[in-house]
Structure 1
Amino acid sequence: MKKVLLALGLLTSVFGSVSAATLTPQKGVSILYINGQAAQNKISENQINEGFNQVLVRFDKKFGNSGVYSSAPYVLNFDVTGEEVEIKSPKVRSYMEAEKIFEAVNPSWVVLQDDVAIKYQQDVIERKPGFAPFGGLESRLAEHNASKAVYFKDGVLLDKPAEAVVLTSVVDNTTAQTSGKAQKPVKLAETQNIEQLQAWYIKASKQERKEFRKWMIDQE
């Protein structure tokens, strides 16, 4: 079981580093986090992976003497199959209009892939009372994702391993009292991890497979 989890971590770091598209925020959009990690560039280009991506965005814009309006952070989930992805904010002409738009349930962001609008899902990180309503944003994003059963490792989406780790932890804490009942979660976790390994191995290049096999032999 330990070797399977180690292999998952290795494959995640090797295959997860391949970028498939360029993400560009348009004026007024700040990119805060990409797939659970702080964005390298908040207001310029970032690299994102093929497939499912999650971007945490915020509307930031100065309106003359009215000052800068900053919205709550919004979680945008979408699938990437193209090369260029852009995120546009809702059309806002004044500070008051910004307040009205971003107090709405679902502001109308636009996500373009190769100049074609694509579907996305959105959620908002709720404001907390106090001086720093969005303090601890990284941990709050992780909590939000956990509540949705979405897990990332080093910026790469994991299908099941994070859930499997939870199952393993539960087993470790209860083995002494309920060893018979604890065996099924372990078996399920191993099955899920093996399936994930197989999926990553199939997607790997010949060189990546060679390096992975060498690594596995070294673990024996």
Structure 2
Amino acid sequence: MKKNLWLLMALFSASTQAATLAVADNIQLLAVDGKEVKSQGWRAVDSVELSEGKHQVVVRFDGEVKRGSKSTIYTTRPYLFEIDLANTNAEIILPRLTTESQAKAFFERGAQWQLAMADGSVKPLVVTELQGEGFAAYSDIEALINAYNSANGIVVEKGNAIDLQQVAVNVDNKTGKVEITGDALIQLKMWYTKASKEDKKAFKIWMAEKDFN
């Protein structure tokens, strides 16, 4: 843990309802709530201030490891997960990985990402490894996240990630009957996230032509 960082976070949290989310060494913070986290000059951003509630976070391992007697940089695909913060500072952590073979084995068998809380407790994170297509699949992280969210019925509102399918769709496990619940606005948002670009364009044109007054 970064002791100085924890001290600063503790002092900061005493005067605000927000929390600070940090990442450990060799973990790169790529995006929060669908927005890319851009480095400040040559210095990567290793912490962000977040409001209370659920947040969608994307990170990757990007660190120096040993390949025999030489050093090399090992970089993984992006990993996406949700973090529910309740005014508690936290840090995303991984076990210490020192060699390339060790890192490969760890991520190939399913990396165990964890969240270390300010009170000393550690929680496992349920992660999704984002899969891109093509040579520059991961150059536009926001587009990659948007595609994932659209496919899974997830939107980010006021800094909080909302799974619209969980809110609006109820499946009877016995009969298999699907019931759409929730208010009309939630239902509209869910179907809009699943629409293609052409469907969204057509819908906007339809909305513009209608007079709902």
Smaller-chain TM-score bracket: 0.5 to 0.7
1:112 maps to 2:116: yes
Q: Distance in 2 between matches of 1:37 and 1:154?
A: 13
Report the alpha carbon displacement of residue 154 of structure 1 after superposing the two structures with TM: 6.1
1:166-177 aligned at under 5 Å gives the runs: none
Greater strand content: 2
Distance 1:98 1:133, change over 3 A: farther
Greater helix content: 1
Match of 1:100 in 2: 105
Match of 2:168 in 1: none
Report the alpha carbon displacement of residue 83 of structure 1 after superposing the two structures with TM: 2.3
Structure 2 counterpart of 1:30, from 21, 28, 31? 28
Structure 1: segments with no counterpart, 5+ residues: 1-17, 176-185, 187-220
Q: Distance in 1 between matches of 2:17 and 2:151?
A: 27
1:119-130 aligned at under 5 Å gives the runs: 119-130=124-135
1:35-50 aligned at under 5 Å gives the runs: 35-39=33-37, 42-50=44-52
User: TM-score by structure 1 length?
Assistant: 0.60
Q: How many residues matched?
A: 158
1:77 maps to 2:79: no
**Root mean square deviation, CA, Å:** 3.1
1:1-220 aligned at under 5 Å gives the runs: 20-39=18-37, 42-64=44-66, 65-104=70-109, 106-114=110-118, 115-130=120-135, 132-153=136-157, 155-158=159-162, 160=186, 162-163=189-190, 165=192
Distance 1:173 1:118, change over 3 A: same
Report the alpha carbon displacement of residue 19 of structure 1 after superposing the two structures with TM: 6.1
Paired residues of 2:19 and 2:89 also in contact (CA < 8 A): yes
* Percent identity of equivalent pairs: 19
Report the alpha carbon displacement of residue 40 of structure 1 after superposing the two structures with TM: 5.1
Structure 2: segments with no counterpart, 5+ residues: 1-15, 165-185
Task: Give the letter aligned to residue 109 of structure 1.
Answer: W
1:78-131 deviations in Å (ceiling 9; x for gaps):
211132110012331201111121122x3011112222223432100115343x
Report the alpha carbon displacement of residue 156 of structure 1 after superposing the two structures with TM: 3.6
| 3-state SS, counterpart of residue 151 of structure 1 | strand
User: TM-score by structure 2 length?
Assistant: 0.62
Q: Distance in 2 between matches of 1:111 and 1:50?
A: 16
